[in-house]
């Protein structure tokens, strides 16, 4: 019996000793992963987790102790909030914006001296925007051009832009007023030069005089998806008119141009190639009519009186581009048809039609963030022009026809723009050259212009 007790006591003592020796070996394995996550990356913490597993397998502790020991490595996911890659993509948009900026640095609003060659892909001008009122939407600016006595102011709110333009029509002041919404714009223009005189005498004369430059017109433009449709109509007095009424009859002078235009372009959606197609209509009238109280009415017609229809198509695009420069090339073409008025006892009929095209090149260079220089060159090429007329002299009739093929003078212009913060200044000079520029100037006067903006 004593032997059994002795043997049992010995076994208990050996088991206790073995348990004490095993416990210290397991503790460090559980504690180490808890201390390291704050200092080491997740990749380095995986190794201690793998080392702890064998320790748990070799220990002979009860199941309750194993469950308590395993939760200790749970804090390991704590470093996971370091998805550093999420922060890196933030730099990508900045780089993209920096690269996109040079492509748009030339697309700024210019004065009327810019793009004298009429390239369809060039940036907008204040005169072009006034001609299609919807393009004035969003503008808040003041523009003056002292060389041609022009001024424009635009103001308003997010929904509507109002604008006023001050210009000259011959020797008369021309006022333009309009408004623009996001999808449409309208404007009217007028200059007035009329004098009314009444003379109370035996003839009881009433006389009115209209000065050249007397003008009334209207414009409208609409956005239709990716296209822009515009209309314009105008009545302009081209020579001084005297209209007189007496007891003996009336004497009327009618010297005017009635013009109209319709235009469709892809400007709102164009990327690299821009085009416009349209029709010009002009009634050029120079007639004098005498209406006696008794007798036959007589009308005298100037040989230049005519009716013009001119469909046209313009196209332009970028052919060379770099971070600080671009070259635009374009072609403007029209097919005018002119029908001249018949003149009693002078001309039975006369008409003219042809194909004209104007190739043009416009180059722009950004010297710095504030300075841009530009230059353009173009000439008009009459591909084909045919004119015919039948003259009458008594009983004799003479029919004449003329075919013309011609390249007109080359026109060169250059200008510079300075912009800083909310103001810009532009200057431009132009000169016609012979077809051989090295041949020298052709004697035409140099044309210079200067304009400036204040933006708000």
Is residue 165 within 8 A of residue 185, CB to CB? The reply is: no
Q: Report the Cα–Cα distance between both ends of the chain, in Å, rounded.
A: 111
Average pLDDT score over residue span 117-135: 97
Is residue 422 within 8 A of residue 125, CB to CB? The reply is: no
Region of poorest pLDDT, from 86-100, 214-228, 229-243, 320-334: 86-100
Over residues 380-419, the pLDDT tens digits come to 999 999 999 999 887 888 999 999 999 998 999 999 999 9
Average pLDDT score over residue span 124-146: 97
pLDDT for 432 = 63
Residue 92 pLDDT > 80, yes or no? no
pLDDT band at 445 (very low <50, low <70, confident <90, very high): low
Rg (CA), the chain: 43
Is residue 222 within 8 A of residue 263, CB to CB? The reply is: no
The span from the CA of 382 to the CA of 358, in Å, is: 9
Residue 32 pLDDT > 60, yes or no? no
pLDDT for 243 = 94
Beta-ladder partners of 388 = 351, 401
Residue 39 pLDDT > 80, yes or no? no
Residue 257 pLDDT > 90, yes or no? yes
Burial class (CB in 10 A: 0-12, 13-18, 19+), 127: buried
3-state SS class at 103: helix
- What does pLDDT average to over the chain? 81
Over residues 327-380, the pLDDT tens digits come to 999 999 999 999 999 998 899 899 999 999 999 999 999 999 999 999 999 999
The span from the CA of 133 to the CA of 276, in Å, is: 16
Over residues 200-211, the pLDDT tens digits come to 887 788 999 999
Burial class (CB in 10 A: 0-12, 13-18, 19+), 114: buried
Task: Report residue 50 CA to chain centroid gap.
Answer: 66
Structural domains of the chain sorted by starting position, each given as residue range(s) with its CATH number in brackets: 2-69 (no CATH), 97-455 (2.40.128)
Average pLDDT score over residue span 410-430: 94
The span from the CA of 407 to the CA of 344, in Å, is: 35
pLDDT band at 64 (very low <50, low <70, confident <90, very high): very low
Over residues 138-157, the pLDDT tens digits come to 999 999 999 989 999 999 99
């Amino acid at each position: 019996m004593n032997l059994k007790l002795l043997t049992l006591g010995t076994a208990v003592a050996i088991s206790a000793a073995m348990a004490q020796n095993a416990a210290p070996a397991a503790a460090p394995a559980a504690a180490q992963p808890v201390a390291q996550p704050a200092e080491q990356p997740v990749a380095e913490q995986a190794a201690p987790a793998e080392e702890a597993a064998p320790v748990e397998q070799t220990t002979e502790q009860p199941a309750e102790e194993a469950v308590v020991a395993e939760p200790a490595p749970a804090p390991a996911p704590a470093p996971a909030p370091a998805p550093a890659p999420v922060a890196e993509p933030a730099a990508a948009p900045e780089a993209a914006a920096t690269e996109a900026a040079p492509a748009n640095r030339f697309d700024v609003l210019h004065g009327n001296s810019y793009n004298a060659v009429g390239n369809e892909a060039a940036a907008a001008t204040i005169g072009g925007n006034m001609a299609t009122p919807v393009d004035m939407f969003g503008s808040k600016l003041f523009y003056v051009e002292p060389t041609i006595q022009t001024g424009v102011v635009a103001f308003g709110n997010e929904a509507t832009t109002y604008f006023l333009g001050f210009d000259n029509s011959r020797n008369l002041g021309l006022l333009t007023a309009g408004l623009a919404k996001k999808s449409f714009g309208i404007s009217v223009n007028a200059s007035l030069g009329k004098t009314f005189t009444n003379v109370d005498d035996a003839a009881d004369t009433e006389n009115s005089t209209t000065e050249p430059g007397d003008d009334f017109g209207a414009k409208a433009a609409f956005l239709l998806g990716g296209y822009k449709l515009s209309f314009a109509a105008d009545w302009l007095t081209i020579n001084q008119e005297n209209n007189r009424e007496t007891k003996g009859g009336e004497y009327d002078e009618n010297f005017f141009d009635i013009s109209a235009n319709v235009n469709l372009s892809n400007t709102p959606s164009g990327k690299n190639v821009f085009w416009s197609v349209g029709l010009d209509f002009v009634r050029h009238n120079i007639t004098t009519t005498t209406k006696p109280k008794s007798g036959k009415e007589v009308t005298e017609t100037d040989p230049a009186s005519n009716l013009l229809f001119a469909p046209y198509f313009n196209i332009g695009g970028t052919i060379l581009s770099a971070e600080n420069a671009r070259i635009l090339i374009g072609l403007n073409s029209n097919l005018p048809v002119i029908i001249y008025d018949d003149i009693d006892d002078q001309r039975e009929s006369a008409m003219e039609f042809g194909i004209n095209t104007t190739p043009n090149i416009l180059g722009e260079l950004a010297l710095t963030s504030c300075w841009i220089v530009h230059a353009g060159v173009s000439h008009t090429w009459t591909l084909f022009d045919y004119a015919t007329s039948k003259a009458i002299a008594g009983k004799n009739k003479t029919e004449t026809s003329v075919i013309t093929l011609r390249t007109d003078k080359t026109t060169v212009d250059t200008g510079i723009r300075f912009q800083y913060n909310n103001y810009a200044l532009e200057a431009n000079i132009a000169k016609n050259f012979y077809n051989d520029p090295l041949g020298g100037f052709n004697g035409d006067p140099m044309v210079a212009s200067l304009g400036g903006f204040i933006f708000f």
